[in-house]
Amino acid sequence: MDANDKLVSDAFQAFMRECPKDAQAWMNAVRDLAAASALDEKTGTLAYLAVLAALRLESGVPFHVAHARKAGASREEVISAILIGLPAAGNAVIQVLTAALRAYDQS
């Protein structure tokens, strides 16, 4: 991930720029967790989007939607990933839908 990537939130860019050792440790953990996952890349990115939506972490959505699209996720799969938490998390997940669709259409 490039710190200047337009899809990366300002907060995460600041984290990477101002705390490089911590950011590297975080990125190593993320990489290692992804490698340990039994999920394929597309399924993992869609599951991650579902978690972001349930937690209302909209700032991470553009980056992870672009990642899901590159992994082969369709627009409909992204929508389903965002909405899958609707029964458990309630309509809070809908707040992320607009950011996800905008990111998908722009990536």
pLDDT tens per residue, range 13-43: 999 999 999 999 999 999 999 999 999 999 9
Q: What pTM did the predictor assign?
A: 0.85
Cα 42 from Cα 63, distance rounded (Å):
14
Cα 100 from Cα 77, distance rounded (Å):
11
pLDDT tens digit sequence for 1-15: 554 477 888 999 999
Q: What is the SS3 string spanning the chain?
A: CCCCCCCCCHHHHHHHHHCHHHHHHHHHHHHHHHHHCCCCHHHHHHHHHHHHHHHCCHHHHHHHHHHHHHCCCCHHHHHHHHHCCHHHHHHHHHHHHHHHHHHHHHC
Domains of the chain: 1-36 (no CATH), 40-106 (1.20.1290.10)
pLDDT tens digit sequence for 62-97: 999 999 999 999 999 999 999 999 999 999 899 999
